[in-house]
Amino acid sequence: MVEKDRSTLNAVAAALRGARRVLVITGAGISADSGLPTYRGIGGLYQDEDTEDDVPIEVALSGQMMRMRPELCWKYIHQIERSCRGARPNAAHTALVRLQDRFEQLTVLTQNIDGFHLDAGSRDLIEIHGNVRRLQCTGCGHERTVGDFTGLRIPPACAECGALVRPRVVLFGEMLPEEALARLYGVLERGVDAVLSVGTTSVFPYIAAPVLEAARRGVPTVEINPGDSEVSGRVRYRLRERAAVALPLLEDALGVR
């Protein structure tokens, strides 16, 4: 880390020392050091315009495709899960877990469906796009969590009623889960003392809004991202570094480790 970034890091640590409630918003970039791709598609996987089935990935991974051609939708969900298989939380995920006890409340709002924050031990976690390993029957609603999709028939059928089973993730064209939104609104209504944006391009309005509103109100805002995002020009502090590097260093600066 260059000297300028170390100075910024120390300024971030100083801003956080007086904070009680912190919101951390994470995207695909936080899982990059676990070996997961960060490019286009749900969970980060697809770079080309069309899939091998000659449909855009946004169509293949849509709620409508899950209803009309579940075998095609599941094909690409399976590919996403396979890209996550064997990967583990990295130093960024574990740093956030250790930082939990430094604050009265540390809420993680993640766009990722890989489940790494949960695996690492984040307690106050909002998986706004769901978790690919949580499966739900579209008929009777029966739910179960699997370690991975090994041995899973594609598309799977419910053992209870025989109806189609799908992962509890937000596909293209679907609404965000009401429970997750309610939890996020509750956190924002109670107020936060700092907002960190980590490894996300912030292209979704509901991801950028907490950062922009905090900046408007003068609440300390931090971006940890090697590249530029939709909120880069609005945050108070920018650390142009990978999350797996910056967050452990922030721990050290706060005296957590």
User: What local confidence, expressed as pLDDT, does residue 46 receive?
Assistant: 56
Q: Do 235 and 77 contact (CB within 8 A), yes or no?
A: no
How buried is 110 (Cβ within 10 angstroms: 0-12 exposed, 13-18 middle, 19+ buried)? buried
Which one of the listed residues 78, 93, 129, 142 is annotated catalytic? 129
**93 labelled catalytic:** no
Q: Is the peptide bond before 89 cis (omega within 30 degrees of 0)?
A: no
Which CATH number is correct for 3-35+88-129+175-254, 3.40.800.10, 3.40.50.920, 3.40.50.1220, 3.40.50.1820? 3.40.50.1220
Q: Residue 82 — pLDDT band, cuts 50, 70, 90?
A: confident
* Ramachandran quadrant class, 192 (left: phi over 0; alpha: psi -120 to 50; beta: rest): beta
Tell the residue number behind the tokens 């721990």, with chain if given: 251
Q: Where are the domains of the chain?
A: 3-35+88-129+175-254, 37-86+149-169
Q: What is the DSSP pairing of strand 130-137 with strand 143-145?
A: antiparallel
Q: What are phi and psi of 189, to 5 degrees?
A: -70, -35
- For the cut 70, the answer to whether the pLDDT of residue 174 exceeds it is yes
First-to-final CA distance of the chain: 19
Q: What pLDDT was estimated at residue 48?
A: 54
DSSP secondary structure code for residue 147 in this structure: S
**Per-residue pLDDT tens for 206-220?**
999 999 999 999 999
Strand order, beta sheet including 165-169: 143-145, 130-137, 165-169
pLDDT in tens, 14-58: 999 999 999 999 999 999 999 887 655 454 555 555 788 889 888
